């Protein structure tokens, strides 16, 4: 069934460290052979052996309207005729910046980069430049990309799957990266008190999607906002996952909480490598060449990536009902899975938010990295492989959120629910 994938995996191990690039942890956390995908259309993936799967990864989030979305493909094809990169300003950069500022609350300015990692790194540098302070706080289990500064401390946990956190990085960086517990404001207050006046920013995934869609407890984000304002600390929402997915305006709109800086990735690129960071003009003008904080990128804002992102965002902006449709589909899947999993006698818990969902095989509340880690028990690999055999492609770990796309039909959702029996 997976013959060609197996052959490719054997060959890949010779040339690619780890054997595969993406999805990076597929085979590691669930075992078996990673499936090599040949093509994707809407919500259907086809692998190199000709097997078809209903896709719940959406390329780890970006493909919110499905793979090969016709308007995006058409726009890319037309743009590519004009050349791929100029290294000079384009009208498109202004268009996409204007659109993002219109869609997202509390921001006046946005700068485009090439990935979510780069967006988060840049936001941290801007926060350091703006506040003149050096330390920042991240939460255990929240993921902000593969930069050393984010991975350095134990506590990236879920996101590094027990892999060593970048050995050999300079101790100075390590000392600047502090960690607190998601959903536990007291743990944040403690770290702030121990580092009084030294903290530039707190960076958080408003929904801890890298622990498996762990929702903020009532009041947690409000308390965080209040603490940051009181202590003169910038609050950074890492919206790489939640941006343009939970709602048109992302987590700030969804939860009604203002962040000082936001970072984007995934959906913002329409399937191309794009990231962005944004904030008020007062903060953002610290960026060069107006301000002292240098930030640049050879291919940042390149026309092919920009046209893909711009076309997708325009579609979302013009059709906000898409977010409701997606949330309805996600709720439908949740309820259907509830029925079959309850009947099967499994201990499980499903977390859901907007178009994201995750299944933990536990019946206890999942609020932070420790409880997510405990819930991520041995039952998951079996569930993953059984679903795969039935043509359902799930994220290969219960730490990962399922990303639904609007190309999923109710028929596909029904097939998925039946497969989980
Ligand atoms: N921040 C969050 C919340 C993410 O989920 C991710 C990637 O999954 C990143 C940052 C890093 O983004 P990228 O993989 O585009 O570098």
Q: Does residue 329 form part of some domain?
A: yes
Please tell me the predicted confidence (pLDDT) of residue 227: 98
Q: Please indicate whether residue 116, judged by its CB atom, sits closer than 6 Å to ligand 1.
A: yes
Q: Answer yes or no: do 249 and 349 share one domain.
A: no
Which of 294, 318, 342 marks a domain boundary?
318
255-302 pLDDT per residue, tens? 999 999 999 999 999 999 999 999 999 999 999 888 888 888 899 999
Number of domains into which the chain is organized: 2
> Best of 59, 63, 120 to mutate for ligand 1, by most ligand atoms within 8 A of CB?
120
Please tell me the predicted confidence (pLDDT) of residue 157: 44
Ligand 1 center–CA 145 separation, angstroms: 5
Domain of 201, CATH number, reads: 3.40.640.10
Q: Answer yes or no: do 46 and 131 share one domain.
A: no
Please tell me the predicted confidence (pLDDT) of residue 289: 84
Q: Answer yes or no: do 314 and 333 share one domain.
A: no
Integer Cα distance of 97 and 277 in angstroms: 10
Which tokens sit at 233?
Answer: 């600390």
Please tell me the predicted confidence (pLDDT) of residue 380: 84
Q: Does residue 364 form part of some domain?
A: yes
Instruction: Provide the phi-psi class of 325: left if phi over 0, else alpha when psi is between -120 and 50, else beta.
Output: alpha
Give the count of alpha carbons within 13 A of 346, CB side only. Answer: 23
Chain-centroid distance of CA 402 in Å reads: 11
Please tell me the predicted confidence (pLDDT) of residue 167: 43
Write the residue with the smallest CA distance to atom 10 of ligand 1.
144
Q: Does residue 233 form part of some domain?
A: yes
**How much is the pTM?**
0.95
Which of 289, 318, 347 marks a domain boundary?
318
Q: Does residue 62 form part of some domain?
A: no
Spatial CB neighbours of 115, under 8 Å, sequence gap ≥ 6: 145, 265, 273, 274, 275
Domain that holds residue 45: 3-56+320-419
Please tell me the predicted confidence (pLDDT) of residue 175: 66
The β-bridge relationship of strands 349-353 and 275-279 is unpaired
Please tell me the predicted confidence (pLDDT) of residue 224: 98
Please tell me the predicted confidence (pLDDT) of residue 404: 97
Q: Please indicate whether residue 240, judged by its CB atom, sits closer than 6 Å to ligand 1.
A: yes
> Best of 150, 243, 265 to mutate for ligand 1, by most ligand atoms within 8 A of CB?
265
Angle at 312 (CA atoms; ends 71, 305), nearest 5 degrees: 95
- CB neighbour burial string for 116-155, b if at least 16 within 10 angstroms, e if fewer: bbbbbbbbbbbbbbbbebbbbbbbbbbbbbbbebbbbbeb
Ligand 1 center–CA 344 separation, angstroms: 34
Q: Answer yes or no: do 101 and 48 share one domain.
A: no
Q: Please indicate whether residue 25, judged by its CB atom, sits closer than 6 Å to ligand 1.
A: no
Q: Answer yes or no: do 81 and 218 share one domain.
A: yes
Give the CA distances from residue 219 to residues 146, 231, 355, in Å, rounded to whole numbers and listed in that order. Answer: 30, 18, 22
Q: Answer yes or no: do 165 and 286 share one domain.
A: yes
Please tell me the predicted confidence (pLDDT) of residue 156: 44
Ligand 1 center–CA 143 separation, angstroms: 7
Q: From the alpha carbon of 117, which atom of ligand 1 is closest?
A: 16
Q: Does residue 61 form part of some domain?
A: no
φ, ψ for residue 350, nearest 5 deg: -110, 125
Instruction: Provide the phi-psi class of 83: left if phi over 0, else alpha when psi is between -120 and 50, else beta.
Output: left
Q: Please indicate whether residue 145, judged by its CB atom, sits closer than 6 Å to ligand 1.
A: yes
End-to-end C-alpha distance for the chain, whole angstroms: 22
Which value does ipTM take for this structure? 0.99
Q: Answer yes or no: do 190 and 295 share one domain.
A: yes
Pick from 400, 415, 410, 414: nearest CA to 158: 400
Q: Please indicate whether residue 143, judged by its CB atom, sits closer than 6 Å to ligand 1.
A: yes
**Catalytic residue positions?**
143, 238, 266
Please tell me the predicted confidence (pLDDT) of residue 152: 52
Domain of 49, CATH number, reads: 3.90.1150.10
Write the residue with the smallest CA distance to atom 5 of ligand 1.
241
Pick from 405, 400, 417: nearest CA to 26: 400
Counting as low any pLDDT under 50, the low residues of the chain are: 153-172
């Amino acid at each position: 069934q997976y013959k060609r994938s197996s052959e490719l995996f054997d060959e890949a191990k010779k040339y690619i460290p780890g054997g595969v690039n993406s999805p990076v942890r597929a085979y590691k956390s669930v075992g078996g052979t990673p499936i090599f995908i040949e093509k994707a259309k809407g919500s259907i993936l086809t692998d190199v052996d000709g097997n078809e799967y209903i896709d719940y990864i959406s390329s780890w989030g970006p493909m919110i309207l499905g793979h090969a979305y016709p308007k995006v493909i058409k726009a890319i094809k037309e743009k590519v005729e004009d050349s791929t990169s100029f290294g000079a300003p384009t009208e498109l950069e202004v268009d996409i910046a204007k659109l993002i500022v219109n869609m997202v609350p509390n921001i006046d300015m946005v700068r485009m980069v090439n990935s979510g990692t780069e967006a988060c790194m840049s936001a941290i540098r801007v926060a350091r430049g703006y506040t003149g302070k050096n330390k920042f706080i991240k939460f255990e289990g929240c993921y902000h990309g593969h930069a050393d500064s984010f991975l350095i401390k134990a506590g990236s946990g879920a996101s590094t799957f027990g892999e060593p956190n970048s050995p050999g990085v300079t101790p100075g960086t390590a000392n600047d990266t502090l960690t607190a517990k998601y959903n536990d404001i007291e743990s944040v207050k403690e770290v702030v008190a121990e580092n009084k006046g030294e903290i530039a920013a707190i960076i958080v995934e408003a929904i801890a999607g890298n622990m498996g869609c762990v929702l903020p407890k009532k009041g947690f984000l409000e308390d965080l906002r209040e603490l940051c304002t009181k202590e003169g600390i910038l609050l950074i929402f890492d919206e790489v996952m939640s941006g343009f997915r939970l709602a048109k305006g992302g987590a700030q709109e969804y939860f009604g909480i203002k962040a000082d800086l936001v970072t984007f990735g995934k959906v913002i690129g329409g399937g191309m490598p794009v990231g962005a960071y944004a904030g008020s003009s007062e903060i953002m003008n610290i960026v060069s060449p107006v301000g002292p904080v240098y930030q640049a990128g050879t291919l940042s804002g390149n026309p092919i990536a920009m046209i893909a992102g711009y076309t997708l965002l325009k579609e979302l902006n013009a059709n906000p009902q898409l977010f409701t449709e997606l949330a309805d589909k996600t709720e439908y899947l949740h309820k259907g899975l509830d029925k079959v999993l309850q009947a099967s006698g499994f201990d499980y818990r499903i977390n859901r938010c907007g178009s994201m969902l995750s299944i933990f095989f536990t019946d206890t509340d999942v609020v932070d990295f420790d409880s997510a880690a405990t819930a991520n028990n041995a039952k998951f690999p079996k569930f993953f492989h059984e679903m795969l055999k039935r043509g359902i492609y799930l994220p290969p770990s219960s730490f990962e959120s399922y990303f639904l796309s609007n190309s999923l039909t109710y028929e596909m959702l029904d097939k998925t629910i039946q497969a989980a029996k």
